[in-house]
Amino acid sequence: MYEVKFKSEAEKAKIHMVVENALTCVEAVRMIVDNIQDADVLSVYLSNFKEIVRNQTTADIDHKWYDVTAASVCIDEISGKEKKLKYHILIDAPDFDTAVTRTKETLSQGYDMVTFSIKETDITDVI
Q: State pTM to two decimals.
A: 0.81
The CA radius of gyration of the chain, in Å to the nearest whole number, is 17
Q: Residue 9: pLDDT above 90?
A: no
Task: Calculate the average pLDDT of the chain.
Answer: 85
Confidence class for position 119, pLDDT limits 50, 70, 90: very high
Name, in order, each residue with C-beta under 8 angstroms of 59's C-beta and a sequence gap of 6 or more.
none
Mean pLDDT value of segment 23-36? 86
- Same domain? For 116 and 65 the reply is yes
- Same domain? For 12 and 36 the reply is yes
- Same domain? For 7 and 58 the reply is no
CA separation for the pair 106, 96 (Å, rounded): 15
Q: Give the pLDDT of residue 66.
A: 94
Domain hosting 13: range is 1-47
Confidence class for position 67, pLDDT limits 50, 70, 90: very high
